[in-house]
Amino acid sequence: MLRNAAGRHGHGAAIRPKSPLACLGVVYDKCRVVMPDVRHSIKVVAMRTGLSAHVIRVWEKRYGTVTPGRTEGNRRLYRSEDIERLRVLKLATDAGHSIGDIARLPTERVARLLAEDFSAGRKVDLPASSTGDAAEWVAAAHEAVVAMNADGLAALLERCSVALGQMKLLTAVIVPLVERIGTEWRDGHLKVAQEHIATATIRTFLGQTGRPMALHPAAPTLVATTPAGQMHELGAALAAAAARSLGWRVVYAGASLPAEEIASAVLAQRALAVALSILHPADDPDLPAELQRLRRLLPAKVHLIVGGAGCAAYATALASCGATMVRDLGQFEAALDRLRSGAG
């Protein structure tokens, strides 16, 4: 979902067909998302971490894992950093570590312990610091791409998700990696096989990442896909991964789904929202009617959230559908949070 990096590289790109990786098209203010100091209820924390509210309270009281703020009515309010810490602690306890042994450790130290626990497939050189700079992770992942080391790339991305957290992994590692691969592929510096292996590996990883250990029973459902004629699915896969990491139940439907099929999935799953990625082509004469048909088929309470490089070309049709257009993952996350809180 979101802007296509390929559009920034001049007319020479037309010599070769668009790379699926290039068409992921995600740019977040030079791959950085500035997160506001939002505070979250314990219900949201439970949804995002897979921990029950009871366990969260016990860990706070007995082990001092986090120190939430309080409302005037004494309700707990958690920072995004608290959620990430609890998520890492949950992963560590699932891996066999005792919460009593790790509760007082800095989050970065727990992440390093987890990184040591992961099996790595074929060896990949990791950043010197297991929580290292995002650019170091991108460089290490790029080496795996060049070596056509799919297992190593997948293992590295998994370790990175533990070290940096899901959202930073998506915005600061996968996005710039995808842009670099797309640029090098178009310029002839990467072979087709290297690009295809990277595409398949990242698509598979996005399909698996961000899954909470246990979804909250009241977790809202989102259907992620691309409309008919939109063949590049990595943007939708990225949106699906981001929504999962925020505690949503996600139905990922792949690429080029007709309006009737999208509506069928929404009705069957009682989804609250549909995330659409529109990248290429940006001049499909049939797409506006397809979007209008989708809106008519969907219940009025179901929200459309749309992003991608091609959105601007269909702005009139999207506006008439009442769709929410997003430029980056920060806006996408904000839109999901508004829907979940009932303010969407």
Helix 150-164 and helix 134-146: axis angle, to 10°? 170
In this predicted structure, what is the pLDDT of residue 301? 96
Alpha helices in the chain (DSSP H): 42-49, 53-58, 80-94, 99-102, 107-117, 134-146, 150-164, 166-168, 175-186, 192-208, 234-245, 259-269, 287-297, 315-320, 329-341
* Two structure tokens written together for 212: 């909470």
Quick check: is 128 in a domain?
no
Residue 16 lies in a domain: no
Range of the domain at 238: 221-341
Rounded distance, CA 27 to CA 53, Å? 35
Average pLDDT for 204-214: 72
Least confidently predicted of 130-139, 175-184, 258-267 = 130-139
Q: Which residues contact 92 (CB under 8 A, 6 or more apart)?
A: 102, 110, 113, 114
For residue 87, give Cα distances in angstroms to 38, 65, 80, 211, 239: 17, 11, 11, 11, 20
Instruction: For 237-251, write each residue's pLDDT tens digit.
Output: 889 998 988 889 999
**Is residue 164 domain-resident?**
no
* Number of domains into which the chain is organized: 1
pLDDT at residue 2 greater than cutoff 80: no
CATH number at residue 295: 3.40.50.280
Q: What's the confidence (pLDDT) of residue 6?
A: 39
Average confidence (pLDDT) over 11-27: 41
Looking at the domain assignment, is residue 255 inside a domain? yes
Stretch 215-232: mean pLDDT: 90
Establish if 280 belongs to a structural domain. yes
Residue 59 one-letter amino acid: W
Per residue in 76-95, pLDDT tens?
999 988 998 998 898 888 77
Determine, yes or no, domain membership for 202. Answer: no
- Does 200 reside within a domain? no
